[in-house]
Structure 1
């Protein structure tokens, strides 16, 4: 016999989907709804979000500031691995979901709730990310996914439901965009963006100016690293969240980090997403620049071979899987000597590496120089080439003999 659901913890943002879900859960399950809102730097008035949940009949509302945890324990480990999905997406939504779902599950266990609920649709990746995390950390919890249960099939219907139930929302039928914002990025889907031929309207962007409107003069920024983690900007030490927020401001002012991608969702369809990741783009470029100076060649090449798999795991929701944790150990071991400073130039949408230095550098000018040196015997290359060409020589001889 299925246990009745008396309490459910909802991952609540105060937006269209979760506001409608909150009311729907109350009507459908007649259960006590506990709202959980994670502050990941989305810049909203979270007091208003809390007040809105209470106005909808929720007695228990959790609003928690998780910005430092988000950046230090999720974003920075991901950046140490240079994760980038399908060559351009820096995974800003993907990396937020495991933290939200983890804390949501912890609250559910603390409150004695039987279930957790989320606002992800049955077509998207977020449902997988939330539910894989619930299962990995609290498998006894039941999952309520309203988009897979109710009869509503579009954001327009949700807007109409909100209007009928007097639920205040900001989405409109004219601009039904789905937006996800946190300290690392903003993503946009839906509306006119569903046509891959149409350019995204400039008015949707929130973190960056258009490159055309960016300053005509470039600026340079120096990022200090310790063991693969950024710790300072222009010589000033900052906490992880403050550092990222600072770089977001600098990068946003110069149009850095816009991406327009038709990506392959885990559930099998293609989807068009538009992203802004200004600070993350700066950190990605700077980090790779410093790695080129400090990482052993074979270690770097082996680690790079893991990046597509690592990015897929994060995108598909497997942050709390043993394989992601195993790869993370290898990545972090490779980062031990990635300490130093990388300098980048920001100019009209471009983030350009212009310098790097480190006490852990493997670069040797006395060996690499094109000028006269006393440490490298160029004649050594002759035997090196002969040995590496031997298999090619044998193959060519075989071809000649059989022709």
Structure 2
């Protein structure tokens, strides 16, 4: 496993190992979407990751999709995140914040009756959203006008400024898993005409504009992007995910990002294919793989140059000292899905470490 423990240059920073913590929405913020001390404890426990990518965080008020997810649009949220970044840095960790807009996955019951927005008026099907009134069907979103999209870009840019004030080492743009930017990228949810619909270039326009705006704040070498061209989560689909992956990989070279973070498969097995090979062929920057990797496969793929680092999700949730466990070939704690989104410390900060402090 030696390759996993070699340093890696990520744009403007260097990380000590290639075992990254994937962003995991765990809904432990408060009703005002303010990060808290419990979240700080959780992230500090996992500071041995080469890089922590903190959970999906609302860039614009009124776009909640998970009820208790954190935000980065208010002064109190900045203060709450600053306590977390200070604590992670004191533990010698590195942490990026994932900037996120929920798009059509948001719900009026979570947002004072306001309808969610999306590229086209197509609702999520096959699932329900958890609200204060219990699980409810998703609603048909309101189609964004072209003249509203600069406001979305401005919201991401302001959130990037706030993340900088909160002391993060960089930011990751959430362009995956059926949220707003992904909804624009894939043709199953983007049916609009005009400059933000139709061709690959047009569908990618909003994501690229967000990356450009955020790079003005941070410098592109402290900005990452996460994509999931195959994942059908949130009833997503694309007619040509490999073509989308190939085109986007080449286009992103112009940004000189810290990294490109790719969810390689589909949680629900609705689509299949190899997107990692064409992305590796066409993308010249640091490539992070994610989804169902074992430590052995990750080490092998990094050694062979297929990826540069691996982001572990639920393995890092259940094993706060995951790098130490991998190095020692120790058994892993198993995650408990029943506590993924429940309040409190159970299934969050109470997973045991190999050598508890």
Q: Same fold (TM over 0.5)?
A: no
When Rg is computed on C-alpha atoms for both structures, the one with the higher figure is 1
TM-score with structure 1 setting the length: 0.28
Greater helix share, structure number: 1
